[in-house]
Structure formats: C-alpha cells, structure tokens
Amino acid sequence: MDFRSAILLMYKLVPPSLSLSRIWRLGFAAVFLMCLPGQLKAQTRIDGRVQDQKGQPIPGANVSLKGTYDGGSSDADGLFSFESDEEGRHLLTATFIGYKGFTDSVTLDGQALNLTIVLKEEFNELKAVVISAGSFEASDEGKAVVFKPLDIVTTAGAAGDLFGALGTLPGAQQVGNEEGLFVRGGAGYETKTIIDGLPVLNPFFSQVPDVPSRGRFSPFLFKGTVFSTGGYSAQYGQALSSAVILQTNDMPSTSSSGLNLSPIFGGFFTQQVWDKTGFAVGAQYTNTWLFNELVPQEIEWTKDFQGLSGNLSFLHKTSKTGLLKVYATYSDASLGIRYPTPIPGLSGVDFSLDNQNVYVNTSYREILGKKWTLLATAAGNYNTDAILIQNVDNSRRDEGLQGRVALSRPLGDQVQIRTGGEYSWQRYENRFQLFGLDQAFDSELDEQYGAFFVESEFYLSKSLAGRAGLRSEYSQALNQFNLAPRLSLAQKTGENSQVSLAYGRFYQTPRPQFLGLGTDELRFERADHYIANWQWMSPDRTFRLEGYYKRYDDLVTQDALDSSGTVLSYSSLGDGYAGGFELFYRDKKSIDNVDFWISYSWLSTERIFLDYPVRVRPDFAAEHVLSLVYKHYIPKIRSQVGATYTFQSPRPFHNPGDQEFMAARAPAFHNLSMNWSYLTNIRGHFTIIFLSVTNLPGVDNIFGYRYFDPSGQPLPNYLFGLDASDYVEFAQRPPAIRSYFIGMFISFQHSRKPKDLRAPSERAKKQVEP
C-alpha cells in the first residue's frame, strides 16, 4: 500500500460530519502508522550453528546483524538463535577469540534463516610451533619461555651471575679456572654475548689466573635472554659455538630506589620514571678485604680486590611506538695475587691487575610506515688491563665502535622477513715484555668487520614453522669474506610437544692475539652445527631431549717456535668434532612450592688446535655434566631456600711424564651450593636478605695442574716422557675452598604518583568531562 492510496482510503473512511481538523489529525495518525517502520514489518528468526573447519562446535561466538543490537551467542553445541525486526539485506557477522571474523550478507523478509557458519582459525604465534632447537629463552613474555629473569638471580651457586645460571643448562659447562661458558665442546671464547644485537667485547670482568670470572652485567638489566647452544639465527655471527642474546629493559613502570649492602660491597641505584622518559643511575663499591681476612685463602692476596663501578641509563619514548635507550657503564677494578710455587723456600709469582672498562650501548626502535620495524644500535667500548707479572709489563688495551641496523616486517600474517647490517671497528694494543729484558714490545692491530644478513621466519601451517637465513661477513685483518647459511624447522607433534631441527654454518674471526702473526695463512674459524630436538612443554613442566653433531674446521694452530719459545706464526690447520645428547627436565608443580630442574649432557669431542700436537679431547671438555637445581619457597618463614649440585666427569690434562698426549685425567668436579633468601621489610621497605655458600661439603676440586722444573721455572706446554725428577707438579685450585656471601637489598618504591606531563589544555579537558 502506498501513501496515495492510504490517504484516499482515509478520506473514504472519514464520515462527512467530522471536522476538517479531525480529519487532519486522523490522517496524520494514519500516515504516521504507515511510516513507522517496525509496526508493519515481520520478525525474522535466524538460527544455526557456529563451527570450526573440522566441524567442531565453537561455543561463545558472537553472531550479530551489523549495526544493530540484534544477535546472539552460540551455546556449548555451537548453536545460536535470535530474532530481528530488520528487513532487507543486512550484513551478518560472527566473531570469536582466536578465529578470523566471518561476514556474509543475508536478506531478512520474515522467512526463518538457518545458517552454518564456519570460522577459520586465526594464525596466532603464541599457539603456533616455536623453533626451539639449540635455544633456551628466559623472559617474562613470549612463547617457549623456559626461564624468567628472576630464576637466574635465585639459582644457588650462580651468585646472581647470569653466566653462572646459564651454566646449569644442558650443553653448558663452566670451567673453574677459565672465563666464559664452554658449550658443547667449544672453548670459552666461542660463546659470544650479544646485547641488543651487538656482540660485547668484554662481557666478563678481566680474567685472573685461577680466579673464576663473573659477568659484568646485572641480570636485572635485561628483559629477555636467549641462550643458544647452537644453530642460532643469521642475525648474529662471530660465535662458533654459542650465543647469549640479551635484550635490555624497556621503560620501567615505577620510580624506585635500592640499596645493596654486604660486608664486601655497598651500592645504590635509583630510577625515575616520567610519562615518556626514564632515568636511572647506580654505583657500587667492592672491597674483598674482610672476606679474604675471614675465609681461608689458598692464594696470597698482595692487594685485595677493590672495584668501583657505576652505570647510567636513559630511556625516552620518542613517539607512541619509538623508544630510545642509552646504557653506559664504567668500572675500575684492581687486585694483586702472589701465586705459590711448589718449590719450598721459593717465593711465589706476583701478579697484579688494574682494569678500567667503559661500555656504552645506545639503541633506537621505531615502527616505520605501517609495517617496517627498525632497530638501530650503536655501541662503544674501551678496556685497559694493566697487568704486571713479576714486574714484567703485559698490559693490553682495546677500544672499539660498533653499529647495527636491522629492519623487519611481516609479509602477510605468516611470514616475517628481517634484514640488516653490522659494522665494527676494533683496535687491540698489547705490550709484551720478556723476562730479563727491559725493553717492551708493543703490538697494535686494527680490525674492521662488516656483516650483512637476511632472514625469513615463516609458518607453513600452525604446526610447521621454519627459519631460513643467510649471513655474509667480511674481516679486514683477514681480508676475506664468508657466507653462512642457517636453517631451522619445527613441527608440532602434539598439543604440547614438538620436534625441531637446525642446521647452520658459523664463522668466527681468529682472536686478535693471532691476527698480527701469520695473517696470510689465517682464515675464519668455522663450525657446522646439526641439531635435532624433541620438546614437551606445559606451563609447569618442560622436558627436552636434544642431540647434535658439530664439525669444526680452520681452527687456529700454532706453527713454529723460535729458540726462545716465542711463536712465529699461526695457521688455520686445526679441526675437530663434537657430538652428544642432552636431557633437561623442569618441574614447577609436582612438589608444592618447589621448582627444580635437572640437566644432563653427554659429550664426545676431539680437536686439534693451538699447540695441540694431535687430535684429542680438549682439556676443558668433560664427558658427563650434570646439574640439579632446586628452589623451595617456604611461605611461613617468607624464605626461598635453594641448592644446586653440579657434577663434571674428569677432564683431561697433559702430564709431561706421559708419552701419550692428554692422557691423564683430573679428578671429577663436584659442587654443592646453597642459598637462602629471606623476604622482609625494614620500615616498610621491601628487603631481601641473602646468604649463600658455594661448595658446602668442602670438596677439594682441582681444575688442572701446572708444571715447573726443579728450579721453579715454569715448563713449556706439552713436554713428553720427562723423568719424574725433572718436573714438579702444582695443582690449580680455586682461591678459597668454600666461598660465602651475605648481603641485603632494600628497595624503596617511590610513592609519588607519576607526574602529569600532558599539555595543560589536555588536562583541562579531562576535568570538564562528566
């Protein structure tokens, strides 16, 4: 019925006696009725079922007519039903978390509709398979996370040292008298520490013979740590065996200050946070005098360790997505040690060290356009070690600048590409002074290094992912290029389990002490990794089994000695292999308030490198390594008690009385460390008091042996078949059998509210709002 006929009908129906105004009113009302949309329309019933691609029901989906209130939710069987007064063509949508939205047009005309809606699962990285071969991740966010940053700090025996905690993971081994992490048959220098994309030249405090070295950086500086025991991404290079990849913290959420006190050190930090800017400063002074006085020492300290360090950081949000971070640290440390000799009556060997280190890392992250993410990092380092051995100068200094730019973007929702480049300049200066000579020889080496990488991470499905990359590097000192392909694949095998495979070629420039000599003969040291891993993971339990084979090539070897025993040249003739398997189990659930993990590594390896005459198991590589880490939180006494037990099977060493090379075995290594942290508050400020003991049972651990001739002069390395009367043996032990630590940490949360930094006009706007 159209308007015209409606009005005509009206006139017909209205009796003539009625006044015009009455007619008008009636007419008005009638037309009004015509025009009211709903009244004459029919209701349409819409029902149906929401299901996934396999036909399984999806409960809780939101089905609606776009732009209206009409709609319904699917029930446990995926069924929904609702009615609508709308007419004509409308868009019907269906949505549910984790699924792609569904839209279709429907025509509503009173005829009931029955629909089957199929939702496609949205691609979600959090649920998808993760490449896990060769990598352990510690972070608060993200997927495949085995560790949280706090786990590092609370591991007994690690004494708050990042590398100490990583040493309890499978594949890693710490060697008491040498710095660094020894990973899968690789030497300590084959593990690199990378901060925000750039390798750090001096991640450890300067090494002192027989004194275990700690990492320079506090684990609290980093929001994420990836410990790769092999097969890592093409984004990184220059590490033959392993990479510790660290990401610095973003903006902290609150302003706070802290005080660190112990008989051997005192320190403070404070951080201020505004809307867009954060600033932190900290300093620490360490002096081991009291400790050395109280705890029996195996070595004589001619100067107690004394150190002063400070750090500064600055963060600024340059835009909604941009973040600039600057971190700078300075440290000054000195010590003196007199090493005993095995000859009675002979005074020891004096060693003294004075170290200064400066490290600055600046990074900038921003999203460019819509898709590209930029991460640019620049770093500078300066390190001097003034070393005197029996008053003979062995100082060294190195300084460098590094820069890196990385860009990444998604291609669709299942492919991510990354590309970037890295450049570094380093200068190494060494001073050699030979015994009995006044004159010192200085050597200086400049090295420039450049690298380019491209990598793609892709998901072929939710359960099959891959990462393929290519890295090319150039070393100026070697005047050579290399090309390193990397490939990883991961396939889900069940709800919680997956298999991963990785292959990669890794290059490392020979260490600077070799580069000055025989550069013509030297090439990049090279390793090929093949890794297979099976992992089962739930939020509370993780089990991993990993096997690997590595082939080493072009390792640096020492060629010839002159009559005084000085090395004349080096070449790249070394090689070797390492193979083995590892087990890891972590459980946070089975025992109340207990978190524990077990790592076991079996390693078979041989190599010929440096001054090794034949291919053997190197002296740093133990065949079996076992770590048990146990942490028990006892709420009643607000304490966490932890214990870590580490076992390493006997490591080889060479005895000059032997005919065969590296045939002797040092005793097995055992260490049981315990710690206790007590949470309390002092005048309302959160306080932790901690106490730790390493090597509680007092096992006499021997790292290795040094050999001297009967007059007390050190013997050259690797002599054969000496008569027992021609040499004297000296066992290398840690400076103290047991080591103790007691300290407290007080935190002051600033109660002041974050400052309102918005423009006054914006603030005013807020106030007039209802």
Partner 1 sequence: MKNFLLLICFSILTLSLQAQDESQDREKYMQAMSKLIEKLDVAESVEEYQNLSNAFERIAQAEQGEWLPWYYSGFSQIMMAFAIEDLSKVDEVVDYAEKHIALAEQIAGDNADIFVLKSMVAGARIRVDFSRGMQYGPAASGFATRATTLEEGNPRGWLQLGQQTLYTPEAFGGGPGRGCALLKKARDRFESFEPASPIHPNWGEEYLNSVIAQSCSGYIK
- Residues in contact with partner 1 by the rule CB under 8 A: 3-4, 7, 27-28, 31-32, 35, 59-62, 64, 66-73, 75-76, 97-98, 126, 140, 148, 150, 253-254, 539, 638, 679-681, 684-687, 749, 753-754, 765-766, 769-770
What is the token pair recorded at 66? 């776009």
- State the Cα–Cα distance between residues 208 and 413, nearest whole angstrom: 51
Q: At closest approach, how far in Å is the CB of 753 from partner 1? A: 5
Nearer to partner 1, 45 or 685 (CB): 685
581 or 686, CB closer to partner 1?
686
Decide the pairing of beta strands 594-608 and 256-261: unpaired
Rounded Cα distance between 636 and 174, Å, is 35
**What are the structure tokens assigned to 501, written together?**
């495979």
Residue with tokens 């929401």: 50
Q: Could you write out the DSSP letters of every residue in 601-627? A: EEEEEEEE-BT-SS-B--TT--SEEEE
Q: How far is the CB of 752 from partner 1 (least distance, A)?
A: 10
> What's the min distance (Å) between Cβ of 68 and partner 1?
6
Compute, in degrees rounded to 10, the torsion defined by CA atoms 248, 251, 252, 254.
170
CB of 425 to partner 1, least distance (A): 38
Instruction: From residue 37, give the alpha-carbon distance in Å to each of 24, 27, 28, 111, 680.
Output: 21, 17, 16, 18, 69
- As a residue count, the chain comes to 770
Nearer to partner 1, 154 or 235 (CB): 154
Closer residue to partner 1 (CB): 12 or 766? 766
CA angle 451, 505, 234 (to 5 degrees): 45
Tokens (6 digits) for 180: 């660094």
Distance CA 414, CA 129 (A): 12
Please say which residue, 147 or 552, places its beta carbon nearer to partner 1.
147
In the complex with partner 1, which residue's Cβ is closer, 207 or 639?
A: 639
Tell me how far, at minimum, the Cβ of 588 lies from partner 1, in Å.
9
Q: Smallest distance from the beta carbon of 465 to partner 1, in angstroms?
A: 20
For partner 1, the closer CB: 73 or 456 = 73
Q: Would you say 143 or 431 has its CB closer to partner 1?
A: 143
- b/e sequence 234-272, b meaning 16+ C-beta within 10 Å: bbbbbbbbbbbbbbbbeeeeebbbbbeebebbebebebb
The residue (of 100 and 765) whose beta carbon lies closer to partner 1 is 765
Q: Residue 309 CB, nearest distance to partner 1 (Å)?
A: 24
What is the DSSP-derived secondary structure letter of residue 85? Answer: -
The closest alpha carbon to 528, from 546, 499, 558, 554, belongs to 554
| Secondary structure (DSSP) of 510-527 | PPHHHHTSSGGG---EEE
Separation of first and last alpha carbons in the chain: 48
| CB hemisphere CA count around 569 (13 angstroms) | 9
Crossing angle (nearest 10°) for helices 20-35 and 3-13: 140
- Cα distances from 434 to residues 19, 207, 347, 649, 714, in angstroms, run 129, 21, 20, 38, 14
- Cβ at position 628, least distance to partner 1 in Å: 20
The nearest distance, CB 747 to partner 1, in angstroms, is 9
Question: Between 72 and 466, whose beta carbon lies closer to partner 1?
Answer: 72
* Cβ proximity to partner 1, 154 vs 352, nearer residue: 154
| Least spacing, CB of residue 75 vs partner 1, in Å | 8
Cβ 766 to partner 1, closest distance in Å? 5
Q: Which is nearer to partner 1, 221 or 672 (CB)?
A: 221
In the complex, what is the shortest distance from the CB of residue 52 to partner 1, in angstroms, rounded to a whole number?
Answer: 16
Q: How far is the CB of 252 from partner 1 (least distance, A)?
A: 8
Neighbours of 489 (CB within 10 A): 18
Nearest CB to partner 1, comparing residues 45 and 338: 45
Distances in whole angstroms, Cα of residue 363 to Cα of each of 197, 357, 366, 421 = 9, 20, 10, 14
Please give the biggest Cα pair distance in the chain: 145
Instruction: Find the shortest distance in angstroms from Cβ 247 to partner 1.
Output: 15
CB of 60 to partner 1, least distance (A): 4
Do 458 and 428 contact (CB within 8 A), yes or no?
no
Count of Cβ atoms closer than 10 Å to residue 566 Cβ:
11
Closest to partner 1 by CB, 70 vs 137, is 70
Q: Name which of 390 and 538 has its Cβ closer to partner 1.
A: 538
Compare residues 145 and 194 and give the one whose CB is closer to partner 1: 145
CB 171 within 8 A of CB 184: yes
CB of 42 to partner 1, least distance (A): 19
List own/partner pairs for 193-196 with CB under 8 A and 24 or more apart. 193/217, 193/243, 193/244, 193/246, 194/236, 194/243, 194/244, 194/245, 194/246, 195/246, 195/247, 195/248, 195/361, 195/379, 196/246, 196/247, 196/248, 196/325, 196/361, 196/363, 196/375, 196/377
Provide the token pair at 128: 């998808």
Q: How many CB atoms lie within 10 A of CB 340?
A: 13
Nearer to partner 1, 2 or 562 (CB): 2
In angstroms, what is the minimal distance from the CB of 245 to partner 1? 20
Say how far residue 172 (Cα) sits from the centre of its chain. Answer: 15
Residue whose CB is less far from partner 1, 153 or 666: 153
| Smallest gap from residue 5 Cβ to partner 1 (A) | 12
Structural tokens at position 257: 């200050």
Two structure tokens written together for 41: 């329309």
